[in-house]
Amino acid sequence: MVASYTQLLARRYTGKLDEDADEFIGFAVDGARRMQELINDLLTYSRVGTRALQLETVDSNRLVDRVVSDLGAAISDSQAEVTRDDLPTLRGDPTQLRQLFQNLIANGIKFHRPEESARVHVSAVLEHATWTFSVSDNGIGIEPQYQERIFALFQRLHTRADYPGTGIGLAICKKIVERHGGQIRVNSAPGHGTTFEFTLPVVRAEMRTV
């Protein structure tokens, strides 16, 4: 309601009152939009923790391809390139795993260096009955002292004006990975890109096929 009515005010009255009014309506529209974004992200975060996992056999190639197609507009707007190796099929909750890839790939695109377009690559290796997935980018990187903190709710290293966001995406990723019995970590050097690595255990039914 708040978002719709402030948008209606903007459509009907921008340019008809004074300059201050235009500015105030603009702030209200922007605030309502951000509040909606925040509520949606918090709901996703909460559902990831409460909803029972719907375990299925999931082809991660298809998940990543789907995410790349969903992010089509962001990818073409920023002339990004997202590539992947041949990825495994495993057991997991397809909705949550898709969300995981979506957040990591979208961050790889978003946090690119101004002078170079984003390149994001997804790969996976199998070791000791565990898949380790990597999502690597050539972006701005993260200072070592912040590398733990970014997985907590609302922790962001930049202003919204530099890079938009709510600071909830990586907290969602951590929760998804941990609910699947894995771990997530980051390797990064400022100016030299970032690699997020997460593990997913190979479950018995699937071990026969690998």
List residues binding ligand ADP (CB under 6 A): 103, 107-108, 111, 137, 139-140, 142, 150, 155-158, 165-171, 194
- Nearest partner of 176 among 152, 198, 155, judged by Cα: 198
- Nearest partner of 118 among 103, 129, 134, 105, judged by Cα: 105
The minimum distance between CB 63 and ligand ADP, in angstroms, equals 18
Q: Which is nearer to ligand ADP, 90 or 106 (CB)?
A: 106
The minimum distance between CB 70 and ligand ADP, in angstroms, equals 16
The minimum distance between CB 120 and ligand ADP, in angstroms, equals 8
Q: Which is nearer to ligand ADP, 44 or 95 (CB)?
A: 44
- Closest residue to ligand ADP using C-beta atoms: 165
Environment class of residue 63 by beta-carbon count within 10 Å: exposed (0-12), middle (13-18) or buried (19+)? buried
Cα–Cα distance measured from residue 84 to residue 135, given in angstroms and rounded to the nearest whole number: 9
128 Ramachandran zone, left/alpha/beta (phi>0; psi -120 to 50): left
The minimum distance between CB 86 and ligand ADP, in angstroms, equals 23
DSSP lists the bridge partners of residue 43 as none
Cα–Cα distance measured from residue 113 to residue 49, given in angstroms and rounded to the nearest whole number: 33
The minimum distance between CB 190 and ligand ADP, in angstroms, equals 9
The minimum distance between CB 45 and ligand ADP, in angstroms, equals 10
- Nearest partner of 58 among 99, 101, 88, judged by Cα: 88
Cα–Cα distance measured from residue 88 to residue 75, given in angstroms and rounded to the nearest whole number: 24
Q: Which is nearer to ligand ADP, 64 or 170 (CB)?
A: 170
Cα–Cα distance measured from residue 186 to residue 174, given in angstroms and rounded to the nearest whole number: 11
Q: Which is nearer to ligand ADP, 24 or 45 (CB)?
A: 45
Instruction: Beginning with the edge strand found earlier in the chain, give each strand of the sheet holding 194-201 in spatial order.
Output: 81-84, 119-127, 130-137, 194-201, 184-188
Q: Which is nearer to ligand ADP, 26 or 164 (CB)?
A: 164
Q: Which is nearer to ligand ADP, 182 or 193 (CB)?
A: 193
